[in-house]
Structure 1
Amino acid sequence: MLLWFLRVKKEYLKQVLILLVGILLPITTSFIYLLGVTPFHIDPVPVVMFLTNALYLWAIMSFHLFKLSPIAMERVFEHMSEGVLLLDRYRTLIDYNPAAALIIPVLAKKGIGYKIDDIFSGIIKEPAFIQWLRSPKDHSQYDLMWEKEQPFYYHLTASSLFNRRGEVEGRQIVISDVTEQRLLQEELERRAYIDGLTNIFNRSSFIERTQMLLEEDAQDTAILLFDIDFFKQINDTHGHHIGDEALRHVVSICQQHLKMADLFGRYGGEEFAICLPHHSFEEACHIAEQMRHSFEVSFFQTDEKKVRVTASFGVAHTANDPSILETLLFEADQALYMSKRQGRNRIYASTGSDYMLYQKQDLPPASH
Structure 2
Amino acid sequence: MEFLDSEMMKRFMRSAPVNIFFKDTECRYCFASEICNLVSVGENGSIVGKTDLEIQKFPEMGKMYYEDDKKILATGKGSQYISEFPMENGESLYFEIKKSAVRDENGNIIGIVGIVDNVSERVRLEKKVEELSMIDGLTGVYNRNYLKYRVEEKKKKLIFPFTVIISDCNYLKKVNDQYGHEYGDILLKIVAGTLKEEIPEGSSVIRMGGDEFMILGNGIPEEKASELMTNIQESLKQKSKEKIPLSLAMGSYTVQDKDFCFDEICHKADMRMYEDKKRTKADEGVEIIE
Q: TM-score, normalised by structure 2?
A: 0.60
State the shift of 1:85 in Å.
0.6
Aligned to 2:246: 311
Q: Is the 8 A contact 1:93 1:115 kept in 2?
A: yes
State the shift of 1:145 in Å.
1.5
Q: Is the 8 A contact 1:157 1:174 kept in 2?
A: yes
Residues 122/284 of structure 1: CA separation in 2 closer, same or farther (3 Å cut) = closer
- Matched residues in 1 for 2:63 and 2:147: separation? 39
- Say which SS state the counterpart of residue 71 (structure 2) adopts: coil
- Say which SS state the counterpart of residue 124 (structure 1) adopts: coil
- Matched residues in 2 for 1:222 and 1:105: separation? 43
Q: Is the 8 A contact 2:143 2:207 kept in 1?
A: yes
User: Which of the residues 229, 249, 252 maps onto 2:196?
Assistant: 252
Residues 284/173 of structure 1: CA separation in 2 closer, same or farther (3 Å cut) = closer
Q: Is the 8 A contact 2:170 2:248 kept in 1?
A: no
Equivalent residues in 2 for 1:152-167, closer than 5 Å:
152-167=93-108
State the shift of 1:137 in Å.
2.7
Cα distance per residue 1:321-341 (max 9 Å; x no partner): xx7755753562464366368
Aligned to 1:117: 51
- Matched residues in 2 for 1:131 and 1:220: separation? 33
Q: Which has the higher contact order (CA 8 A, sep 6+)?
A: 2
- Say which SS state the counterpart of residue 230 (structure 2) adopts: helix
Q: Is the 8 A contact 2:40 2:57 kept in 1?
A: no
Letter in structure 2 aligned against 1:111: S
Letter in structure 2 aligned against 1:313: L
- Matched residues in 2 for 1:191 and 1:247: separation? 21
Aligned to 1:227: 169
Residues 123/286 of structure 1: CA separation in 2 closer, same or farther (3 Å cut) = closer
- Say which SS state the counterpart of residue 70 (structure 2) adopts: coil
- Say which SS state the counterpart of residue 265 (structure 1) adopts: strand
- Say which SS state the counterpart of residue 329 (structure 1) adopts: helix
Query: Which has the higher Rg, Structure 1 or Structure 2?
Result: 1
Residues 158/294 of structure 1: CA separation in 2 closer, same or farther (3 Å cut) = same
User: Which of the residues 137, 140, 145 maps onto 2:84?
Assistant: 145
Aligned to 2:16: 79
Residues 141/130 of structure 1: CA separation in 2 closer, same or farther (3 Å cut) = farther
State the shift of 1:146 in Å.
0.8
Q: Is the 8 A contact 2:101 2:113 kept in 1?
A: yes
- Matched residues in 2 for 1:339 and 1:174: separation? 64
- Matched residues in 1 for 2:134 and 2:143: separation? 6
Equivalent residues in 2 for 1:238-317, closer than 5 Å:
246-255=190-199, 258=200, 260=202, 264-274=205-215, 278-279=221-222, 285-297=226-238, 311-316=246-251
**1:171 paired to 2:108:** no
- Matched residues in 1 for 2:170 and 2:232: separation? 12
Aligned to 2:75: none
Q: Is the 8 A contact 2:133 2:145 kept in 1?
A: no
Task: Give structure 1 stretches of 5+ with no counterpart.
Answer: 1-5, 11-70, 214-218, 300-305, 346-368
- Matched residues in 1 for 2:45 and 2:118: separation? 21
- Say which SS state the counterpart of residue 20 (structure 2) adopts: strand
Letter in structure 2 aligned against 1:249: G
- Matched residues in 1 for 2:112 and 2:147: separation? 48
Q: Is the 8 A contact 1:312 1:336 kept in 2?
A: no
Aligned to 1:23: none
Aligned to 2:273: 332
Residues paired across the two proteins, number: 252
Residues 235/288 of structure 1: CA separation in 2 closer, same or farther (3 Å cut) = same
- Say which SS state the counterpart of residue 111 (structure 1) adopts: coil
- Once superposed, what is the RMSD of the aligned Cα atoms? 5.0
Q: TM-score, normalised by structure 1?
A: 0.49
Task: Give structure 2 stretches of 5+ with no counterpart.
Answer: 1-5, 73-77, 156-160, 255-263
- Say which SS state the counterpart of residue 136 (structure 1) adopts: helix
Identity %: 16
Letter in structure 1 aligned against 2:236: F
